[in-house]
Amino acid sequence: MDLNLTDEQRLLRESAERFVAESYDADHRRKMANDPLGFSPAVWTQFAELGWLALPIAEEFDGLSGSAVEIGILMEAFGRGLVSEPYIATIVLGAALIERCGSTAQKRAILPKIADGSLKLALAHSERAARFDLAKVATTAHKTAQGWRLAGSKIAVLDGHAADEIIVSAHIHDHQGPSARIGLFLVPATTPSVAISDYERLGGGRACNIELSDVQLPKDALLGNGHDAQPAIEWAVDRAMAALGAEAVGIMQVLLDTTLEYTKIRKQFGRPLSANQVIRHRLADMAVQVDEARSMALRAALKVDADPVERARAASGAKAKIGRSARFVGEQSIQLHGGMGVTEELEVGAYFKRLVAFDTLFGGSAHHYGRHARLGRTTVPA
Amino acid sequence: MDLSFNAEERAFQDEVRGFIARNLTDEMKRATALTPSVFSDPDIGMAWQRTLHKQGWGAPGWPVEHGGPDWTPAQRWIFETESARAGVPNVNVMGVKMVGPVIIGFGSPEQKNFYLPRILSGEDYWCQGYSEPGSGSDLSSLKTRAVRDGDDYIINGTKIWTTHAHHANRMFALVRTSDGPRQQDGISFILIDMKTPGITTRPILTIGGDHEVNQVFFDDVRVPVANRVGEEGKGWTYGKYLLEFERGSGIASAKLREGLKAIADLAESDLTGRAIDSPDIATRISEVEVDIDALEMTELRVLAALQTGQNPGAVSSILKLRNSEIRQAVTRLGVDVIGHDALAVEPMRPLYKLNHEPAMPEEMLTVVPEYLNGRAYTIFGGTSEIQRDIIAKMMLGI
């Protein structure tokens, strides 16, 4: 058992925090908010140069074989700056699924390009009728003489508009008819009959909905050999939730620091707001919840490679608890800023909106406490 | 970073498990499970202390030269976790975890030589004389006075909420030795033999039906000046040091997890008509479990940071606040889980010596008393409101 950061991890934290402090200021964020792409390709190139895109990829595919703890360190710094680059979509979800499900040829073709920044990915999995149930997929993939034919609708695809290749999940229908297997298919963004409608995402960045109308794909579009990809999707989303939890911690820390400063400066009734015990106790509660969130994000990161039930419970527990803390810290930050907190003139609102988006992504607290409870049962109801 | 144990740590885990399996009797285990108050009765707790002492494990947090086992943080973690899992009795924490560190930190060589071995062996049983009827959260306003008379102090006043004063042979107390402009400055830390003439003890029953706390009266009680720890008037500093240990040095999550497991087992049992089949109960169990996960992770982070031996500081207030709130959430859930059986009262104490058939299954006997007595968790050792004051001041600078 060891809970201390290594020297390399400390350096990573310093360089990520320095990058965010120097390059990712309020002006940059405002520019990105009005940008049709929603992020900066120049920043993405910098990420590649810093080795951050290669971080979790295996060394044999030009990566650095980093762990979820390092991803968490990076994500916490990203949260401080409200970084909007497609890191979760391309690296945490995309690269991980390629590495876990892809054939050696697919990994060789794709992973080095992700690491050097020349290729971006997105995962199109969620569907309206499924809500947050990762096992529910209505999109179909029919086997054809030439390869595959995909049909269906995907929603809330993170950064799909910017991706070169989109990983689409679909129920496999082969010669014997419908199977119980979900396959993952690599769909180039320029494929005919793939309609991408993107939109500004709450809290920064962009997302999209995708219509697949009888999309024709070659045989090798299927990742790997067609084994059921459902466990891999659960695995990848659990990793993404751990990473997003760390990002939320960075966001919450900024809100706590900003709100604390404000209550020291803002005077009413002839004294600073922070002179009131009701305000001090509120801030103490916020500090406690930020600290608990930090513990939960770290715990989820340390358990991403545990057995599936333990991993999923750690991820859902973290998502549920951090989601709840995020709402509390965000809402109280606005409350303590008074009327100004509700305006676009301060950045409190921008940080809050990213937290609301975090709580919603992959399911809110109620969903994840429910998943945690279901997975924790030692006996099944009769 | 790695949460899993290495080969040496796994070997130590086996050693601890083996030790507990060999030494923890069914009687001790049952008595502990059926104790609805905070502390085990001394006959149970001290028997376990003597067993630990024989093994050299009597005071896990102490330095080696005073009899500590020289464990790594991971070993301490394993010891506490395995102890909680097995349901071992509570030892006299007022000795091992409270006055012990103060004597080690500030006591004279004579005091160390006399008191520390007696704490380790279980020969002495300590109680804590801090709160007074007029001084609860505002502890430094305390009025119990020690007036110098030659080589003695003469003590007059009263202490309250004194846990196990009716069992203890010694008390450590904060007493006023002078009046100054700052009320914290005139306080001294003193060690009192409970058999000294002039001390009387009045029992106070708590709402769960247990006799755990007392009020203690001092009428011209003569205590040697040599029993003062450290300097006169510096008692507040020592007392605060102790409180940080009281709040923050423990590993509470392991016990919380066992407490929740007992409730979850009841919820999955036919005894409660399978309360867990209600989605509300199932979700609440998860909420509490996740809160325990967070506390456990914070404890591990603090433990890693404490390797150098400094005291925990303000983070101990976060640990105390959350431990007490989660403890209450567990007991609150317990009452809801047992349903109809929450109506039955079993007044006999101790419950492990019950000599008649109780109105409810034995597994449920402690549930309601634990909930009721457990309201004290957010009050003793500094109320939750005081903890929030400390967090705001020490961590946030406001």
For range B72-86, the mean pLDDT:
92
Cβ–Cβ of A283/B5 closer than 8 Å? Answer: no
State the best of B76, B290, B300, B315 to mutate against chain A, taking most chain A CBs within 10 Å. Answer: B290
Cβ–Cβ of A260/B396 closer than 8 Å? Answer: yes
Q: Give yes or no for residue A13 having a pLDDT over 80.
A: yes
Tokens of B107: 């006591």
- Torsion angle, alpha carbons of B299, B304, B310, B314, to 10: -40
Measured CA to CA, the distance from residue A186 to residue A217 in angstroms comes to 9
Q: Which residues of A touch B302 (CB under 8 A)?
A: none
For range B337-363, the mean pLDDT:
94
In chain A, the percentage of residues whose pLDDT exceeds 70 is 99
Q: Which residues of A touch B6 (CB under 8 A)?
A: 1
Among B141-155, B175-189, B247-261, B350-364, the least confident range: B247-261
* Res. B126 pLDDT band, cuts 50 70 90: very high
pLDDT at A175: 87
Q: Give yes or no for residue B308 having a pLDDT over 80.
A: no
- Other beta carbons within 10 angstroms of residue B184's beta carbon come to 16
Which chain B residue has the Cα nearest residue A378? B268
- Residue B31 contacts residue B41 (beta carbons within 8 Å): yes
Amino acid making up residue B301: R
For range B50-57, the mean pLDDT:
97
* Res. A381 pLDDT band, cuts 50 70 90: very low
Q: Which residues of B touch A246 (CB under 8 A)?
A: none
ipTM, 2 dp: 0.94
pLDDT at A186: 98
Cβ–Cβ of B398/A321 closer than 8 Å? Answer: no
Distance between B385 CA and the closest CA of chain A, angstroms: 8
Smallest Cβ–Cβ distance between A283 and the set B5, B385, B396 belongs to B396
Mean of per-residue pLDDT scores for chain B: 94
State the best of B281, B293, B322 to mutate against chain A, taking most chain A CBs within 10 Å. Answer: B293
Which chain B residue has the Cα nearest residue A8? B1
DSSP state at residue A65? -
Burial of A272 by CB count in 10 Å (0-12 exposed, 13-18 middle, 19+ buried)? Answer: middle
Q: Give yes or no for residue A65 having a pLDDT over 50.
A: yes
Cβ–Cβ of A373/B285 closer than 8 Å? Answer: yes
**Chain B residues within 8 A (CB-CB) of chain A?**
1-6, 9, 74, 77, 268, 274, 276-277, 279, 282-283, 285-287, 289-291, 293-295, 297-298, 300-301, 303-304, 318, 321-322, 385, 387-389, 391-393, 395-396, 398
- Residue B264 contacts residue B282 (beta carbons within 8 Å): no
Which backbone phi and psi does B173 adopt, to 5 degrees? -140, 150
Q: Which residues of B touch A69 (CB under 8 A)?
A: 1
Q: Give yes or no for residue A380 having a pLDDT over 50.
A: no
Smallest Cβ–Cβ distance between A369 and the set B287, B297, B385 belongs to B287
Tokens of A67: 């762990």
Interval B358-398: pLDDT, tens:
999 999 999 999 999 999 999 998 999 999 999 999 999 99
What residues of B are labeled active site?
246
pLDDT at B47: 95
Which chain B residue has the Cα nearest residue A264? B398
- Other beta carbons within 10 angstroms of residue A119's beta carbon come to 19
Measured CA to CA, the distance from residue B389 to residue A277 in angstroms comes to 8
Smallest Cβ–Cβ distance between A281 and the set B274, B303, B392 belongs to B392
Burial of A373 by CB count in 10 Å (0-12 exposed, 13-18 middle, 19+ buried)? Answer: buried
Mean of per-residue pLDDT scores for chain A: 96
Smallest Cβ–Cβ distance between B391 and the set A287, A293, A374 belongs to A287
Tokens of B142: 């305390």
Which chain B residue has the Cα nearest residue A260? B396
Q: Give yes or no for residue B240 having a pLDDT over 80.
A: yes
Interval A221-236: pLDDT, tens:
999 998 999 999 999 9
- Other beta carbons within 10 angstroms of residue B321's beta carbon come to 24
Name the range with the highest mean pLDDT among B38-52, B70-84, B242-256, B320-334.
B320-334
Three-state DSSP at A153 gives: strand
DSSP string, B211-249: EEEEEEEEEEEEEEGGGEESSTTBHHHHHHHHHHHHHHS
CA A235 to the chain's CA centroid: 13
Distance between B306 CA and the closest CA of chain A, angstroms: 11
CA B99 to the chain's CA centroid: 12
Which chain B residue has the Cα nearest residue A376? B286
Amino acid making up residue B125: Y
* Res. A12 pLDDT band, cuts 50 70 90: very high
Distance between A5 CA and the closest CA of chain B, angstroms: 6
The helix (run of H) or strand (run of E) holding residue B106 is: helix B100-106
- Residue A82 contacts residue A24 (beta carbons within 8 Å): yes
Amino acid making up residue B6: N
Measured CA to CA, the distance from residue A57 to residue A62 in angstroms comes to 7
In chain B, the percentage of residues whose pLDDT exceeds 70 is 97
Q: Which long-range contacts (C-beta less than 8 Å, at least 24 apart) are formed by B9-18?
A: B9/A1, B9/B74, B9/B75, B9/B78, B12/B75, B12/B78, B13/B78, B13/B82, B16/B78, B16/B79, B16/B82, B16/B83, B17/B82, B17/B86
Q: Give yes or no for residue B311 having a pLDDT over 90.
A: no
Distance between B17 CA and the closest CA of chain A, angstroms: 18
Interval B20-51: pLDDT, tens:
999 999 999 999 999 998 888 999 999 999 99
- Other beta carbons within 10 angstroms of residue B241's beta carbon come to 16
pLDDT at B302: 84
Tokens of A320: 């549920």
- In terms of Cα–Cα distance, which of B317, B319, B314 is closest to B299? B319
For range A349-355, the mean pLDDT:
98
**Chain A residues within 8 A (CB-CB) of chain B?**
1-5, 9, 69, 260, 263-264, 274, 277, 280-281, 283-285, 287-288, 291-293, 295-296, 298-299, 302-303, 314, 317, 320-321, 366, 369-370, 372-374, 376-379, 381
Q: Give yes or no for residue B212 having a pLDDT over 50.
A: yes
pLDDT at B250: 67
Cβ–Cβ of B286/A369 closer than 8 Å? Answer: yes
For range B47-76, the mean pLDDT:
93
* Res. B310 pLDDT band, cuts 50 70 90: low
β-strand pairing of A177-188 with B152-160: unpaired
* Res. A382 pLDDT band, cuts 50 70 90: very low
- Residue A321 contacts residue A297 (beta carbons within 8 Å): no
β-strand pairing of A206-218 with A147-158: antiparallel
Interval A101-119: pLDDT, tens:
999 999 999 999 999 999 9
Which chain B residue has the Cα nearest residue A293? B294
pLDDT at A3: 85
Q: Which residues of B touch A320 (CB under 8 A)?
A: 286-287, 290
Smallest Cβ–Cβ distance between B398 and the set A280, A314, A377 belongs to A280
